[in-house]
Structure 1
């Protein structure tokens, strides 16, 4: 046996001291890194679960699922099940409990930021889960009956797996719509069903979006767009001609035997609810409307404030949609102050040149220097270069027309966001039914394209990947951050348009463009105030008509249309305009903190690179 060397007492004491020091340091290091590791494992699991729960959501969030550790999944549409709100609330509670077990003060700054962001979002989701029947997935203006076909038509095919996933999703549309009908039936039983006038709108959409006639002719956009995407894969050598032919037949079969019948069944189910007298969210017009006309034609939607605990629900919905932590009272004060600013700007412009009002009513269309959408987008890119960070390489894009069958249900223009890892397949849709032209088209393209949604999405996604941000942050969504930005740059584009018109010798038209900017801002401010009054205070049609009448909107038809849209789409206008005002406030804060170091370029870079956040957290970052 080998003899062990002996240690003196002093040597032993020194070793013990050294061992204690090293053990303490290692324990501290282990404790710090273990908190980060536990948090990242937690967020990774949450992200994977959310992605695999909805293939449609995953496809529009990440281009390559394998890059995020998702290789084994079943293509699924997320179906509603009875009692789902209780399950959602329990899941939020469970996630919050897991989150609370992670030592926040031991996290890295990046993880601590994500922790706070996720915690706030989950807490608000938990609060919303207490109101199971206040949501409306079949809204007449933005429901899934009209949104799902658009998402399917733009479902990018990068591989054969994408095609088979797509066909599997088509095969589930009947189950998906059946689950939404179940939700509407449960809403009806609880007294929360949309009124007949809204049900009728949705039914008409179901009857016209996918028709037997179009499918028989092979002209439906879900047939033509599918074939176009397959042809591209064939050209890349990914699919053979035989496989393409097989997929085309399967697509036609599913559209004819699954999708179209699913729409018909949904329409019939809604009609049954409509005729059964189940409609609950109603508000009768019985008093004299502006102009002396009495309208007793039927029921209109009512605001959330008139529902049980509706004000509490609206408060949480406002935060979820806008990302603003301000109270309704604070928002009203902020809106009224902006309203006065816009009025003063309009008054100043019209006093200088009264003829601008007639130019405004005629619109700046035929005389606008740039007629085509692609040229407008190019001009916008050149004008934004000094005030916005460069996104390399320059994002490519395609401008398409909305197909005729979807024109009645689509916005004047829209952009479908591209997923992480794919910045090349950008499409902007223009709805020719609304015929945006001239200045209106120019500013709309700024909103949807550059420096709006397209630019914001591509730049932010590239920054997200460059910084190796936690993927769970892609689950955080605040409409105010995204739509607020698009409206913010849309108003900037009016200044760009004024410069363009001035350069072309159209000085009066340039001033009219500025007047149009302030008029549009005033209008959106007014509609946002109405949203707060209708859903936060319980204002009905008569109060809305009186409010609008003070600003010269006295047509009963116009008042009814404005009231109905706002009542059917709670928080839609605040999502845009409150988001816009929060960006203005954030910009003021940046100017105050940064002083001489402030520039629009620096502020815009800060905003884009930090990704989707609530505004109070963005302000803390400043």
Structure 2
């Protein structure tokens, strides 16, 4: 499983134009008025926290953003403010005459309206949300976000240190939120809680060897005109703040989770909670961007898996008839050079012609600290500021990359033509800034998974081996997707999940238990990858049928990339012709 790190705090849209402003003079050009509305909305939302702002903009003053509060924000179980802000913003949005907008502004209008509508669907489920999910939760993301917090000036250093000082209050609100979940009978399973307890304890025990310390010193070197004495003073202050704020906060969170561990009333899927099935349906829509029902997605998954298994069988039958060795179900790739930057350069060259050209950018590949390997994804891409996409960072987790083929396809997922390429290309199209705050996981992770599958054919594997390896990877993701829907929608028990995987040759009970717990703790996460990927395949089939002989890979890829992150209905509408 792979992920893309984005801003820590969820977007809570707030109406920045009062309802009285809906009576604006329509003699003003509709497009100018609409762009002013989205620009005001962007400024309001990107200023909601210092960490959101800093990861979105390098030069906030160019966007009219100033005096942002230095805070991580707080968790709340009260959905009233979110509901009111969404409703008010929708009212302003609906006051625009969509038919008078340009095609680009209609696209922004449609995506924003879909996002706001989906946010309203979330209101009744405020306490169902789980900020402490394994791998993608706050406890895992916050240290990475802090360790990569860019220093452009000494003011940024001061803001970073202030954020560290805010961690205890932020975690206090997080603990209070988890207590509210417990009171409502919505606390996580005891097994998931134990995983969080162990992760927090491990993090807090790392001491002076923690990567927060080394990364801070590295970033100080990027700030111009800092004297040796200033650097030493900052290092001393930073070490004191981390030891007094971050580590104790993780220990307190671990202790709080230990106290709540056995208060969960449900040790199985979401469908066993009151209205849990409806909540899962919301998660599926939100995380996949697909308008299909859960049952339809189950059918789509089974159909794609059948196609993959048939393709694998055809290769094996052909190999047996010709006497050639296909490598069986296990395919290995041996790279002459396993330097990630060399692999990324090769991938960039190989995807040329299938994808639109991309400007050269700087890439750093960093290793996840050994002590954190068990708690972080195999790899992740740090999304750069939208006004500075020249510098990009990919983290790889060697503890989850067992062979050269996995390294190769993982770098395709995170780099070229995956997340790095996707983000830099989209920024080059100069979209409305508000689009960058509207996250559609099915589109972003679906794209990265889709191109990861393509990368098998860019590797040094022969065609038959590539087919076997790629189709096998697709089938495994399909199994995880079916298990996600089975556990959370159909109510599979652990025993039923074990039986399901054993039907496909996965027999190790502990491995299945681990998968079950991961899916329990992060509902819908696997669907972002798999359903998003399959929706891109379905979209390509539609493009081939519609465009006929004029279809090319590059044309298709450019069309969906130009459209940008959105629900798939909107992507199809604009990429294949409004």
User: Fold conserved (TM > 0.5)?
Assistant: yes
Checking the alignment, whether the CA contact within 8 Å between 1:89 and 1:130 is kept in structure 2 is no
Within 2, Cα distance between the matches of 1:406 and 1:128?
32
Alignment of 1:512 onto 2:465: yes
Checking the alignment, whether the CA contact within 8 Å between 1:356 and 1:511 is kept in structure 2 is no
Within 1, Cα distance between the matches of 2:201 and 2:116?
38
In structure 2, list runs of 5 or more residues that go unmatched: 1-23
Secondary structure of 1:130 counterpart? helix
Matched residue, 1:267: 254
TM-score (norm 2): 0.91
RMSD: 1.9
- Alignment partner of 1:312 out of 262, 267, 278: 278
Within 2, Cα distance between the matches of 1:357 and 1:495?
15
- Alignment partner of 1:224 out of 214, 235, 243: 214
Checking the alignment, whether the CA contact within 8 Å between 1:134 and 1:192 is kept in structure 2 is yes
Checking the alignment, whether the CA contact within 8 Å between 2:192 and 2:520 is kept in structure 1 is no
Matched residue, 1:159: 153
Checking the alignment, whether the CA contact within 8 Å between 1:80 and 1:179 is kept in structure 2 is yes
- Alignment partner of 1:604 out of 547, 557, 564: 557
Matched residue, 2:449: 487
Alignment of 1:374 onto 2:341: yes
- Alignment partner of 1:68 out of 63, 87, 98: 63
Task: Map 1:232-271 onto structure 2 (within 5 A).
Answer: 232-233=222-223, 236-237=224-225, 239-271=226-258
Within 2, Cα distance between the matches of 1:353 and 1:109?
51
Matched residue, 1:401: 367
Residue 534 of structure 1 and its aligned partner are, at CA, apart by 1.6
Residue 34 of structure 1 and its aligned partner are, at CA, apart by 4.5
Within 1, Cα distance between the matches of 2:428 and 2:161?
30
Within 1, Cα distance between the matches of 2:471 and 2:89?
45
Secondary structure of 1:156 counterpart? coil
Matched residue, 2:109: 115
Alignment of 1:461 onto 2:455: no
Within 1, Cα distance between the matches of 2:387 and 2:288?
27
Within 2, Cα distance between the matches of 1:264 and 1:166?
21
Matched residue, 1:546: 499
Q: Aligned in 2, Cα 1:194/1:113: closer, same or farther, shift over 3 Å?
A: same
Matched residue, 2:39: 44
Checking the alignment, whether the CA contact within 8 Å between 2:132 and 2:196 is kept in structure 1 is yes
Within 2, Cα distance between the matches of 1:501 and 1:261?
49
Residue 537 of structure 1 and its aligned partner are, at CA, apart by 2.0
Deviation string 1:575-612 (CA, Å, 9 cap, x unpaired) is 00111111111112222222222211111111112211
- Count of equivalent residues: 549
Within 1, Cα distance between the matches of 2:529 and 2:461?
27
Matched residue, 2:534: 581
- Alignment partner of 2:133 out of 111, 118, 139: 139
Checking the alignment, whether the CA contact within 8 Å between 1:412 and 1:436 is kept in structure 2 is no
Within 1, Cα distance between the matches of 2:505 and 2:280?
29
Q: Aligned in 2, Cα 1:425/1:281: closer, same or farther, shift over 3 Å?
A: farther
Alignment of 1:187 onto 2:181: yes
Deviation string 1:144-171 (CA, Å, 9 cap, x unpaired) is 1111001111111112222111111111
Checking the alignment, whether the CA contact within 8 Å between 1:32 and 1:106 is kept in structure 2 is no
Checking the alignment, whether the CA contact within 8 Å between 1:356 and 1:512 is kept in structure 2 is no
Checking the alignment, whether the CA contact within 8 Å between 1:61 and 1:419 is kept in structure 2 is yes
Alignment of 1:475 onto 2:465: no
Task: Map 1:566-577 onto structure 2 (within 5 A).
Answer: 566-577=519-530
Secondary structure of 2:391 counterpart? coil
Secondary structure of 1:158 counterpart? coil
Within 1, Cα distance between the matches of 2:176 and 2:73?
14
- Alignment partner of 1:348 out of 314, 329, 334: 314
Task: Map 1:414-429 onto structure 2 (within 5 A).
Answer: 414-429=380-395
Within 2, Cα distance between the matches of 1:303 and 1:82?
21
- Alignment partner of 1:620 out of 550, 570, 573: 573
Residue 448 of structure 1 and its aligned partner are, at CA, apart by 0.8
Q: Aligned in 2, Cα 1:193/1:356: closer, same or farther, shift over 3 Å?
A: farther
Checking the alignment, whether the CA contact within 8 Å between 2:409 and 2:456 is kept in structure 1 is yes
Checking the alignment, whether the CA contact within 8 Å between 2:204 and 2:248 is kept in structure 1 is no
Within 1, Cα distance between the matches of 2:106 and 2:464?
48
Residue 356 of structure 1 and its aligned partner are, at CA, apart by 5.3
Q: Aligned in 2, Cα 1:411/1:82: closer, same or farther, shift over 3 Å?
A: closer
Secondary structure of 2:87 counterpart? helix
Within 2, Cα distance between the matches of 1:256 and 1:562?
34
Alignment of 1:431 onto 2:429: no
- Alignment partner of 1:56 out of 51, 63, 68: 51
Secondary structure of 1:77 counterpart? coil
Within 1, Cα distance between the matches of 2:191 and 2:181?
16
Secondary structure of 1:427 counterpart? strand
Within 1, Cα distance between the matches of 2:118 and 2:25?
33
Deviation string 1:467-514 (CA, Å, 9 cap, x unpaired) is xx32111121111111111111111110111xx245xxxxxxx53332
Secondary structure of 1:171 counterpart? helix
Matched residue, 1:281: 266
Q: Which structure has more RCO (C-alpha within 8 Å, separation ≥ 6)?
A: 2
Checking the alignment, whether the CA contact within 8 Å between 1:368 and 1:501 is kept in structure 2 is no
Within 2, Cα distance between the matches of 1:145 and 1:265?
12
Residue 79 of structure 1 and its aligned partner are, at CA, apart by 0.9
Residue 70 of structure 1 and its aligned partner are, at CA, apart by 0.1
Deviation string 1:433-469 (CA, Å, 9 cap, x unpaired) is 22433111111111111111111111111222xxxx3
Secondary structure of 1:193 counterpart? coil
Within 1, Cα distance between the matches of 2:27 and 2:299?
45
Secondary structure of 2:47 counterpart? helix
Deviation string 1:238-259 (CA, Å, 9 cap, x unpaired) is x232322222122111101111
